[in-house]
Amino acid sequence: MAFADMPLVGMLKTRMRWLEARQKVLSENVANAETPGYRQRDLKSLDFKHLVAGGDSTGAVVPMRTNPMHISVGPTDVRFGADRERTFETTPDGNSVVMEDEMMKVAETQQDYQLATMLYGKSLSLLKMAVRRG
Amino acid sequence: MDLIKSISIAASGLRAESGRMRVIAENLANSDSTSPVPGGDPYRRKVPTFASRFDSDLDAQVVELGRIRRDVAPFRSDYDPGNPSADAKGYVKLPNVNPLVEQMDMREAQRAYEANLNVIGAARRMIARTLDILRG
């Protein structure tokens, strides 16, 4: 079993990919914070229950490995659905980006990403501990 | 990689805001520029506009400085018969630049610039975290 096939690692990878995609959407929001008519966007949050149940929350079609000779093909271009949120403030020019909100989300995404990478590192060291000779 | 893309998107924000700063600087520098001919129109205030554009490489909405418009507000006028730009009645038309408004616009541009820089910083730190996995 490859390291990447472990459910925990797979979940962490999905999470990291989601956080990356979210950071991209947030940077769009911040860059367009003064563009007339721009509507603020965010990603739909990941469904943890679905992830635990082994489902692919991204809804992407993943090729199955039916033969050990197959090279495992992971989802390379995963797309997460973007969502328009209701914000409490829309300027007269139709822009609904609230800068404070966006900065909070950027910081939050960064922290979550750090958490995911740390957990990834920890699970790696757990494996290392298991294979080390006693 | 999405993080590199978010840096590029934030960079488009930086570019747009610095263009806005340039226009504001032009307005402030010309806040007293009168007409070279007697009775002519002085400097007219410039208004920067922003437009979002879909970038297919980045697969995202980036921001661009749109067309720079002119402010249609009326000019200020001053009685100064000795001024070479004065008309026959002795009135000089002064630019429709309000330093207070420019000051406020400048602050806003500054804040937006900082916000974009923050996003770049956050994305860079996330990349650094990813590379930290390699250290083990």
- Arithmetic mean of pLDDT over chain A: 79
Q: Which residues of B touch A105 (CB under 8 A)?
A: none
Residues of A in contact with B50 (CB under 8 A): 32, 34-36
Given an 8 Å threshold on Cβ–Cβ distance, is A23 in contact with B3? yes
Q: Give A24's contacts in chain B (Cβ within 8 Å).
A: 2-3, 5-6, 9, 60
Does pLDDT of A62 surpass 70?
A: no
Q: Is the pLDDT of residue A43 over 90?
A: no
Q: Is B98 helix (H, G, I), strand (E, B) or coil?
A: coil
Instruction: Characterize the bridge pairing of strands B50-55 and B60-65.
Output: antiparallel
Six token digits for residue A99: 């800068």
pLDDT above 60: residue B2? yes
Of A29-43, A57-71, A97-111, the one with minimum mean pLDDT is A57-71
A30 and B13 in contact by Cβ < 8 A?
Answer: yes
pLDDT of residue B93: 92
In chain B, alpha helices (H): 2-29, 99-135
Q: How distant is the Cα of A68 from the closest Cα of chain B, in angstroms?
A: 28
pLDDT score, position A91: 82
Q: For residue A25, report the phi and psi dihedrals to the nearest 5 degrees.
A: -65, -40
Chain A nearest CA to B112, separation (Å): 8
d(CA A24, CA A129): 36
Among A1-5, A6-10, A36-40, whose mean pLDDT is lowest?
Answer: A1-5
Pick left, alpha or beta for residue B39 (phi over 0 → left; psi -120 to 50 → alpha; otherwise beta): left
What average pLDDT score do residues A102-109 get? 93
Nearest CA to A56 out of A79, A72, A23, A24 is that of A79
- Please, which residues 39-98 of chain B have a Cβ atom closer than 8 Å to chain A? 49-52, 60-63
Report how far residue A47's alpha carbon sits from residue A56's, in angstroms, rounded to the nearest whole number.
10
Mark out the alpha helices in A3-98 (DSSP H runs): 7-31, 48-52
**Could you tell me the CA-to-CA distances from A122 to A110, A119, B32 in Å, in that order?**
18, 5, 65
Q: What is the mean pLDDT of residues A23-33?
A: 93
pLDDT at A98 over 70: yes
Q: Find the CB nearest A33 among B1, B112, B123.
A: B112
Q: ipTM beyond 0.95?
A: no
Reported as a pLDDT band with limits 50, 70 and 90, residue B124 is very high
What is the sign of the dihedral through the CA atoms of A88, A89, A94 and A100?
A: negative
Q: Does residue A111 sit at the B interface (CB-CB below 8 Å)? A: no
Inter-residue contact B63 to A31 (CB < 8 Å): yes
Average pLDDT over residues A34-55: 78
Q: Do strands B91-94 and A82-84 pair parallel, antiparallel, or not at all (unpaired)?
A: unpaired
Q: What value does the mean pLDDT of chain B take?
A: 92
Per residue in B26-75, pLDDT (tens digit) is 999 999 999 988 888 999 999 999 999 999 998 899 999 999 999 999 99
Mutate which of A9, A24, A112 to test chain B, going by most B C-beta atoms within 10 A?
A: A24
pTM over 0.90: no
Q: Which of B81, B30, B12 is nearest to A27 (CA)?
A: B12
Res B81 pLDDT > 80:
yes
Inform me whether the pLDDT recorded for A116 exceeds 90.
yes
> Residue B10 and residue A27: Cβ atoms within 8 Å?
yes
Higher pLDDT, A91 or A82: A91
CB contact under 8 A, B115 and A33: yes
Three-class SS state of B46: strand
Comparing A105 with A91, which gets the higher pLDDT? A105
Q: What is the mean pLDDT of residues A64-81?
A: 57
B79-101 average pLDDT score? 91
Q: Of the segments A5-14, A123-132, B90-99, which one has the largest average pLDDT value? A: B90-99
- Model confidence band, residue A95 (pLDDT cutoffs 50, 70, 90): confident
Q: Which residue of A has its CA nearest to B136?
A: A121
Query: For testing the chain B interface, which of A12, A27, A118 should be mutated: the one with the most B CBs within 10 Å?
Result: A27
